[in-house]
Amino acid sequence: MFEKLKKALSSLKAAIAERELGDKELEDLLYRFSLELLEGDVAQEVVDELSLIVKERLKGERVKRGEDASKVVEEALKDEIRRIVSIPKPDLLKEIERKRREGEPYSILFLGVNGTGKTTTLAKLAYMLKRKGYSVLLTCSDTYRAGAIEQLAEHAKRLSLKMISQRYGADPAAVARDAITYAKKHDVDVVLIDTAGRMQTSRNLMDEMKKIVRVVRPDLKIFVGDALTGNDAIYQARAFLEQAGFDCVILTKVDADVRGGSALSIAFTTKRPIIFVGTGQGYEDLEPFDANRYIEQLFGS
Ligand code: GDP
């Protein structure tokens, strides 16, 4: 996991610890570091920021080489990475409880491009909430992609949950509204709404998302991004943020991510917290994102 970014950080540390760094060597070192960060899916703006931090820490002659310099730089990078990814997260269970006390269902809208793992992630969250004792209703507001309804229905069957859907071509906002009405009538605690995810540049899709948001006013909007897609995930996140808006991010497929910079890049770009990460294909493979753990994975031996 995260081998590329980990290697970029450890090579930098080693180089600082081992060599005398004149101005020219420092420039070369930073250039190589930047390239390695980019290869590790770190967004350009973050690369610039991290490089600047290293440069500033090594500016004084006294800290230009040796173990101490290496430690100084490592601590500075850790602090900065922690700062970028430590965005306050919503307390999901507390919010669900609050709505439950008000006699209202808590609704979560899932946004993202096809193939990122949106439907699987929704099912994982349904599984988690069901195990915590909440009643959960699945809703298929993707009335566009062939097979979308059957895919969610399969999860509903496996998890023994009710699902609300209509025919293909139906108005996705109307499906979501029906689900909320059903949930209110039947005292459902949480409504999870799956949406279509054709090309993020599609104007129709964004209009569709905006309409669902307007009609349903979800309590939480989660953007699902695929860690393996690098820069694409950032473009997608930006487009959904500008058009439909979202509150937090779930980053999927981190179990297969050899680069590691997606969390950093998405958090930096969107300023939205990563609430969970997907760590496999099973229902249990959803973990709360933890900034300290992420840093440990990047800097650990
Ligand atoms: P959607 O089109 O965005 O709804 O994507 P799907 O939910 O159909 O997922 C696409 C593929 O990604 C499926 O094969 C999932 O099993 C897989 N997938 C989803 N999340 C993860 C994850 O966290 N790790 C891994 N390894 N695979 C995942």
| Predicted TM-score (pTM) above 0.85 | yes
Write down the pLDDT at residue 193: 98
Output the residue whose Cα is nearest ligand 1's atom 5. Answer: 117
- 92-288 and 3-85 share a CATH fold: no
With a cut of 70, say whether residue 64 has pLDDT above it.
no
State mean pLDDT over 218-222.
98
Is any atom of ligand 1 closer than 6 Å to the C-beta of 279? yes
Question: Higher model confidence: residue 249 or residue 68?
Answer: 249
Longest dimension (CA), the chain: 72
CA distance between the termini of the chain: 13
Q: Edge-to-edge strands of the sheet including 220-226?
A: 162-164, 136-141, 190-195, 106-111, 220-226, 248-252, 274-278, 286-288
Q: Give the DSSP letter string of 202-235.
A: -HHHHHHHHHHHHHH--SEEEEEEEGGGTHHHHH
Ligand 1 centroid–CA 84 distance in Å is 26
116 CA closest ligand 1 atom index = 3
In which residue are the tokens 């399969």 written?
Answer: 154
Structure tokens at 293: 């753990």
Ligand 1 centroid–CA 104 distance in Å is 30
- CATH classification code of 92-288: 3.40.50.300
Write down the pLDDT at residue 56: 87
Average pLDDT, rounded, for the chain: 93
With a cut of 80, say whether residue 101 has pLDDT above it.
yes
State mean pLDDT over 213-219.
96
State mean pLDDT over 246-253.
98
Ligand 1 centroid–CA 241 distance in Å is 22
Write down the pLDDT at residue 280: 98
Q: In terms of Cα–Cα distance, which of 284, 206, 285, 201 is closest to 246?
A: 206
Quick: pLDDT tens for 145-159.
899 999 999 999 999
Is any atom of ligand 1 closer than 6 Å to the C-beta of 114? yes
Ligand 1 centroid–CA 152 distance in Å is 13
Q: Which residues pair with 286 in a beta bridge?
A: 278
Please list, residue by residue across 244-257, b when 16 or more beta carbons sit within 10 angstroms of its beta carbon and e when fewer do.
Answer: bebbbbbbbbbeeb
d(CA 101, CA 262) in angstroms, rounded, equals: 37
Is any atom of ligand 1 closer than 6 Å to the C-beta of 281? yes
Output the residue whose Cα is nearest ligand 1's atom 22. Answer: 253
Write down the pLDDT at residue 200: 53
Q: Where are the domains of the chain?
A: 3-85, 92-288
Using CA atoms, how far residue 189 sits from 93, 98, 104, 253, in Å, is 11, 10, 7, 28
Ligand 1 centroid–CA 110 distance in Å is 14
- Half-sphere CA count of 95, side-chain side, radius 13 A: 12
Is any atom of ligand 1 closer than 6 Å to the C-beta of 118? yes
- Half-sphere CA count of 206, side-chain side, radius 13 A: 16
With a cut of 60, say whether residue 62 has pLDDT above it.
no
123 CA closest ligand 1 atom index = 7
224 CA closest ligand 1 atom index = 3
State mean pLDDT over 168-196.
97
With a cut of 90, say whether residue 123 has pLDDT above it.
yes
Confidence at 63, pLDDT banded by 50, 70, 90: low
d(CA 206, CA 194) in angstroms, rounded, equals: 14
Question: Higher model confidence: residue 287 or residue 203?
Answer: 287
* Fold topology of 3-85: Four Helix Bundle (Hemerythrin (Met), subunit A) (1.20.120)
Question: Higher model confidence: residue 242 or residue 66?
Answer: 242
State mean pLDDT over 219-235.
95
Output the residue whose Cα is nearest ligand 1's atom 21. Answer: 253
State mean pLDDT over 271-299.
97
Output the residue whose Cα is nearest ligand 1's atom 13. Answer: 117
Please list, residue by residue across 153-174, b when 16 or more beta carbons sit within 10 angstroms of its beta carbon and e when fewer do.
Answer: eebbeebebebbbeeeebebbe
State mean pLDDT over 40-51.
94
Question: Can you list the alpha helix ranges (DSSP code H) found in 110-202?
Answer: 118-131, 148-158, 172-185
Confidence at 17, pLDDT banded by 50, 70, 90: confident
With a cut of 70, say whether residue 61 has pLDDT above it.
no
Low-confidence winner among 13-22, 58-67, 81-90, 94-103 (lowest mean pLDDT): 58-67
